Structure 1
Amino acid sequence: MFPTATTILGTGSYLPRQDVSSAEIDARLGWQEGQSFSRFGIRSRHVADADETSSYMATKAAEQALHMAGCQPEELDLILGACGVMEQPIPSTSVLVQNRLGLATSGIPAFDINATCLSFLQALDVANMWLSAGRARRVLVFSADIASVGLDWSQPESAAIFGDGAAAVVLGSDEGAILAHGFETYSEGKEACVLAAGGTRSNPARGTAPGDALFQMDGGLAFRVASRRLPRFLAGLLERAGVRPDQLDCVVPHQASAQALSHITRALRFDSDQVVNIFAQTGNQVAASIPTTLDHAVRSGALKRGQTALLVGTSAGISIGGTVVRF
């Protein structure tokens, strides 16, 4: 079905009011000032206050994207939530966002898609299918994550780098295009990134084991599973898109970590000017990471109309995903 005329008409993002500096992270960890930056490359990250729920942040980002797209909320035909962790199990975060947009009686379909850090790319793919099939003319896709509520501070390699935030896009048919999309999962890495509580196995009604409600990460395992497959995956994706690496105007990666961004730039032989890197200012925002980076690229001028971008990342599972778009 590729390429398709699906176009990103508008982007938006939201960062929580509270900006936590690396010095504050150092103090919490009992480290000397500057240690978290030297180890993890993070200068600050944003942490949501109690009133900044996932649906609140997503709605703020959606309003920006709608404004850029010149689209009113009632003109939407589909709302897709793409969060790594939902605001609540039932109903979905997309339902809460539909309500916040003043669309409670609209009947506009709203549902969630979850692929952890790659939820946005998978929702983008579903939106593309709806648009290509003529089932929708305007689609809102949003991601919002509050990683700060589930961090295990006895594991600073993960706790120090995650931040909160939200981002959104409005899609329609125009002169842009989705040139190719790919997604692969390797469950040999299923233990690399785990948040056990919140489902039917480990929950407050039955009792949770110690640590189940906190995010656990084996960064080494995640890296090993993903890194050995990423070059082949990207080579195939770009070939299907009909684009060489040097023809990409912009690479929009998941901001997994400073080390991961350095690896993808070096191992895949991208020019550093091609890769949008905002990790030091935002940290890893889970599913909101890619669309937040995309919004930054658009608003900073790194990605302009008619240019080609690669959106790429990895997620818990372990999964690898990428989408090549003409903006």
Structure 2
Amino acid sequence: MPSINLTITGTGSYLPATVLNSTDIDDRMGWARGECEARFGIARRHVAMPDETSSFMGAEAARRAMEMAGCGPQDLDLILGACGVMEQPIPSTATLVQDRLGLGRSGIAAFDVNATCLSFLQALDLAALHVQCGRVRRALVFSSDIASVGLDWNRPEAAAIFGDGAAAVVVEAGGKGAVLAHDFQTYAHGHDACVLAAGGTRVNPARGIAPGEDRFRMDGGKAFKLASRYLPRFLQRLLQKAGVGLAGIGCIIPHQASAQALQHAARNLWLPPGRVIDIFARTGNQIAASIPTALDHAVRSGRLVRGDVALLMGTSAGISVGGMMVRF
């Protein structure tokens, strides 16, 4: 497939004001000080308070992205929500963000795209396709996730690594940027590795929720093994699609799944360590917000500059693997 000419003109992110340090988790679990950070490679993460809803955080990140892009809410043609977990089942989080941006009477299309931790990549690809078809000139894509509300602290190996936050990008037709390649693969035999059962039609309050069904459950070992099996061939195929080798990538922006996953990817996929964005120790796994938050960090810290080719990649519940090569 030919590349799609569009440019990421703005990035933005939002982190809740409340910080949960790993030493706080040590105290909660009765561990020795420093054990949480030593085991999971995370020093702190941010936790949303009740007034910091998914739509609130998404709108704040969107405003920062629009400020960088030099545009206002009224200049948007499309708003795509890309959250791993929605604020509420109906209506979409994108609808709620549209209203928070003062666009509630605008008629601008707003809807959600969900692929759990890879929702941002799938929504960004959809925005690119809309641009390619000439349907939109400027789109907002945001991810906002509050993992802290669904953690099971009886399973600290999963609960200890998650954090809350939001991030957004503005993309525009034309410019010097491009989507060089995109790929997404799902291996549903691993669907039970990462599960949040409640919230849909099968497990809901009207019918009763059994203990634990309203909490996130993860078999980290199974998810890790499945992802490790499929990622090398997936990355090779993505690079071939883009016509770019690892040496031609200026910045690698992975999903911040865990410290172990980041280290394993860098080692086994032969990723140049100096080009990999790793903010996991400061933010944790923010579900779908992880990749765009790392992207915003890369842009604002100068790690990703105009003209660079960036690799965005990761895994998600499903199990799915996904990636995108973009010229920034």
Is TM more than 0.5 here? yes
- 1:178-203 residue CA offsets vs partner (Å, 9 max, x unmatched): 00000000001100000000000000
How far apart are residue 225 of structure 1 and its match? 1.1
The residue type paired with residue 262 of structure 1 is: Q
1:291-306, aligned counterparts within 5 Å?
A: 291-306=292-307
In the alignment, structure 2 segments of 5+ residues that lack a partner are: none
The residue type paired with residue 304 of structure 2 is: L
- 1:176-231 residue CA offsets vs partner (Å, 9 max, x unmatched): 00000000000011000000000000000010111100000001110111111100
In the alignment, structure 1 segments of 5+ residues that lack a partner are: none
**Residue 144 (structure 2) pairs with residue 140 (structure 1):** no
- 1:214-261 residue CA offsets vs partner (Å, 9 max, x unmatched): 000001110111111100000000111011011111000000000000
Equivalenced residue count is 327
- 1:69-111 residue CA offsets vs partner (Å, 9 max, x unmatched): 1111001000000000000000000000000000011000000
Aligned position for 1:59:
59
- For residues 284 and 69 of structure 1, what CA distance do their matches in structure 2 show? 27
**Residue 257 (structure 2) pairs with residue 243 (structure 1):** no
- 1:258-313 residue CA offsets vs partner (Å, 9 max, x unmatched): 00000000001111101000000000000000000000000000000000100000
Q: Secondary structure at the match of 2:176?
A: strand
**Residue 255 (structure 2) pairs with residue 258 (structure 1):** no
- For residues 7 and 217 of structure 1, what CA distance do their matches in structure 2 show? 36
How far apart are residue 28 of structure 1 and its match? 1.1
- For residues 130 and 71 of structure 2, what CA distance do their matches in structure 1 show? 18
- For residues 161 and 233 of structure 2, what CA distance do their matches in structure 1 show? 28
The residue type paired with residue 183 of structure 1 is: F
- For residues 160 and 128 of structure 2, what CA distance do their matches in structure 1 show? 35
Q: Secondary structure at the match of 1:61?
A: helix
Q: Secondary structure at the match of 1:294?
A: helix
Percent of matched pairs sharing the same residue: 65
What's the RMSD between the two structures over aligned residues?
0.6
Aligned position for 2:7:
7
The residue type paired with residue 178 of structure 1 is: V
1:1-327, aligned counterparts within 5 Å?
A: 1-173=1-173, 174-327=175-328
TM-score for the superposition, normalised by structure 2: 0.99
- For residues 181 and 7 of structure 1, what CA distance do their matches in structure 2 show? 15
The residue type paired with residue 290 of structure 1 is: I
Q: Secondary structure at the match of 1:228?
A: helix
- 1:147-171 residue CA offsets vs partner (Å, 9 max, x unmatched): 0000000111110000000000000
The residue type paired with residue 65 of structure 2 is: A
Q: Is the 8 A contact 1:144 1:166 kept in 2?
A: yes
- For residues 2 and 169 of structure 1, what CA distance do their matches in structure 2 show? 22
- For residues 260 and 273 of structure 2, what CA distance do their matches in structure 1 show? 14
How far apart are residue 2 of structure 1 and its match? 3.0
Q: Is the 8 A contact 1:2 1:178 kept in 2?
A: no
- For residues 25 and 8 of structure 1, what CA distance do their matches in structure 2 show? 37
How far apart are residue 7 of structure 1 and its match? 1.3
TM-score for the superposition, normalised by structure 1: 0.99
The residue type paired with residue 99 of structure 1 is: D
- For residues 107 and 33 of structure 2, what CA distance do their matches in structure 1 show? 52
How far apart are residue 30 of structure 1 and its match? 1.2
Q: Secondary structure at the match of 1:255?
A: coil
- For residues 199 and 256 of structure 1, what CA distance do their matches in structure 2 show? 24
- For residues 196 and 252 of structure 1, what CA distance do their matches in structure 2 show? 30
